[in-house]
Structure 1
Amino acid sequence: MKKITKMVISSVLATVLMTACSQSSQNGQSDVKHIGILQYVEHPSLTATRKGFIKELAKEGYKDGKNIKIEYKNAQGDQSNIQSISEKLIKDNKLVLGIATPAAQSLTTVSTETPILFTAVTDPVSAELVKSMKKPEGLATGTSDMSPIKKQVSLLRKVMPKVKRVGIMYTTSERNSEVQVKQAKKIFQEAGIKTSVKGISSTNDVQDTAKSLMSKTEVIFVPTDNIIASSVTLLGNLSKELKVPVVGGSADMVPSGLLFSYGADYEALGRQTARQAVKILKGKDVAKVPSEYPQNLKVVVNEDMAKELGIDVSSIKNNK
């Protein structure tokens, strides 16, 4: 009888312990926050943003593989594939990040309740991601990478005070580029500088379009543009050959062919976005987290290109 009683007690204790362990394991799993990241295309600026985002989350105590689980997807610029990726990320995660305008737009189209962060988006309002920067009012908020075009033009005028005509090249299918070009045309006009604007639809158009613009202008201005960024080495070679500098764009484009860039520090932009993410992870309503412009801007100079074009590098560095 005693032996049977002991067996029953042992069995009950084992069941209790197993249940407790199971519940503990389930609670541990529920404490892990799932975060999805959708990057539109493989691009140094976008990748730097993603890495900055993850680093800052870790700094704030949210470490991948410990108390958060990050699911990363890259659409590789494929519009036909981006919706299905977005649907999966929205389904499997409690918070998602869209890097670049097309990625962010796709996520907001799919989501009905999952909060969305965006980054490396030039104009979140015109992209219909938020109602306004200060009051997003929807499921999305994040950071813009809008370049300080007025400051870029001001720096260009100091470096090339005699410039009279600027060529502008951009990808017509990229909304972010359209916004920047519209703003740039206005600022150049106000500065008394004439512009010649040409749009491209793919990398196949870059060489002929650039040559055409360089034949009738003194300098080429390019926005932060994914297609142009992927062809910046070609632009750099043409710049050296025809002695026409190319400016603008993003910092990662400078070593490959731009003379200089004045714009967002993309890793810092990712970190800035992560600080917004922390607020949401702690329970703040995404609609009440204001969208932000880049807090860290920098001038990056291609010294080899400057020498090739006969431009004094100090004239750029001293006029930041």
Structure 2
Amino acid sequence: MFKILKWLIVIVMMGGILLMAQKYLRDDQTLPKEKMLSIGVIQVIEHPALDQTRQGILDELKEAGLIPLETMQWVYESAQGNPALAAQVAQKFVGQKVDLIVTLGTTPSQAAVQATQTPPHIPVVFASVTDPVSAKLITNPQQPDLNVTGVSNYVDVDKQFEAFLKVFKPLKKLGILYNPGEANSVILVEKMQESAKKYDITLILAPAGKATEVLAAAQNLVGKVDAIFINNDNTALAAFGGVAKVGEQNNIPIFVSDVDFIAKGAVAALGPDQYALGRQTGKMIIKVLKDRLPINQIPVEWPSKVELKINFDIARKLGLQLVGNLANDAQAGN
């Protein structure tokens, strides 16, 4: 009887120890863990140039120790060229209380700024916005007054015309493919119309509101222009394959402001290195998330690297005579 009682006491004591251990385990499991940083990314539309910019951002963050699924959450969504979808995604990120929103292109940048106007004013860092002032993202690039800063992809229009005239001296009529619904494209068209007068170039505008309309717009320029230019228009660049075919079939030089499209059929491009622009943007994000700098202490930046690239194979097929030492000065893009 005594032995049985002794074992009962031991069992009760062991049970108590187990219950206490379970309690401690439960308490340990519910201890608050350090919150992982979260970044919401909105890209206006998917095309190689912006994809390169996004990759540059991601690589810069990784080098700084911000690694998706390990030290941060990286949530990417494409607006598919749709302003309403861009606004919806921006609102979703605000509802999820992300730590920062990254925007690639003017349309999602405008949507994100609009969505973050109420507290807690989630910071927004943009890339590939041509004119952030005209787009009403900021009023002072040197000291952003809202919750937004970033890196513009703007290249002076005069320099582009001068470069293209060196590639194709007889240029008199230039077709412009653009989306009138993209604020950055409208701004650039206005700048180009003013600048073209200096070079005695007539611009023929070919609007395309959707990527599916770009091919028809390009075909409509055949017989009317000496060359076609796409200047930072995300819609037209997203459908560049069709534009390149129109140029090839009709012996029309295609100029772009994005050097990544030289290998895809453009004859020349004067523009920023998109990957380098992404790395530049990534450094800004690090200043916000890791260095905890206020947005108004992070001025807007412009491309740190602008280059002229020429597809010499296409230039030869078109019979273009390059001016001066351009063949030596420009980088081969083919």
The two structures have a TM-score, normalised by structure 1, of: 0.88
Amino acid at match of 1:290: P
Instruction: Determine if the alignment matches structure 1 residue 27 to structure 2 residue 36.
Output: no
The amino acid across from 1:73 in the alignment is E
2:323 is the counterpart of 1:318: no
Q: Would you say 1:199 and 2:204 are equivalent positions? A: no
Q: Which residue of 2 aligns with 1:72?
A: 76
Distance in 2 between residues matched to 1:41 and 1:155, nearest whole Å: 28
Gaps of 5+ in 2: 1-5
Question: Equivalent residue for 1:110?
Answer: 115
Matching residue's letter, 2:319: G
CA displacement at 1:187 relative to structure 2: 2.2
**1:85 corresponding residue in structure 2:** 89
Alpha-carbon deviation of 1:247?
A: 0.9
CA deviation digits over 1:53-109, x for unaligned, max 9? 111001112111222111111222233333222112122211111111111111111
1:288 maps to which of 266, 282, 297: 297
Change (3 A) 1:173 1:316: farther
1:308 paired to 2:317? yes
Identity, in percent, stands at 26
Q: Which runs of 5+ in 1 are unaligned?
A: none
Query: Which amino acid in structure 2 is aligned with residue 183 of structure 1?
Result: K
What residue in structure 1 maps to residue 104 of structure 2? Answer: 99
Match of 1:54 in 2: 58
Secondary structure of the residue aligned to 1:254 is: helix
1:37 aligned to which of 20, 34, 41? 41
- The CA distance in 1 between the partners of 2:201 and 2:82, in whole Å, is 37
Q: Deviations over 1:255-292 (max 9, x none)?
A: 33311111011111111111111111121112321111
Q: Give how far 1:317 is off.
A: 3.9
| Contact 1:137–1:288 under 8 Å retained in 2 | no
Q: Which has the higher Rg, Structure 1 or Structure 2?
A: 2
Q: How many residues align?
A: 316
What is the match of residue 139 of structure 2? 131
Separation (CA, whole Å) in 2 of partners of 1:203 and 1:65: 33
Q: Equivalents in 2 of 1:264, 1:203: separation in Å?
A: 23
- 1:27 partner SS: coil
In 2: Cα distance, 1:42 partner to 1:204 partner: 14
Letter aligned with residue 33 of structure 2? N
| In 1, Cα distance between equivalents of 2:326 and 2:264 | 18
- Partner residue, 1:228: 236
Partner deviation per Cα, 1:121-177 (whole Å, 9 max, x = no partner) = 111111111112111110111111113322221112222334333333322111111
TM-score normalised by structure 2 residue count: 0.84
2:3 maps to what in 1?
A: none
Query: 2: CA distance between counterparts of 1:270 and 1:127?
Result: 20
Inter-partner Cα distance in structure 1 for 2:22 and 2:177: 72
How far the C-alpha of 1:5 sits from its partner, in A, is: 7.3
**Secondary structure at 1:70's aligned position in 2?**
strand
Say if 2:177 is the partner of 1:169: yes
Separation in 2 of the partners of 1:313 and 1:21?
Answer: 69
Q: Which residue number corresponds to residue 274 of structure 1?
A: 282
SS in 2 for 1:166: strand
| d(CA) in 2 for partners of 1:142, 1:161 | 36
Superposition map of 1:182-197 within 5 A: 182-197=190-205
Distance 1:156 1:72 in 2: 36
Equivalent position to 1:179, from 174, 187, 199: 187
Is 1:143 aligned to 2:151, yes or no? Answer: yes
2:128 — aligned with what?
Answer: 120
| Structure 1, 188-197 or 178-187: larger mean CA deviation | 188-197
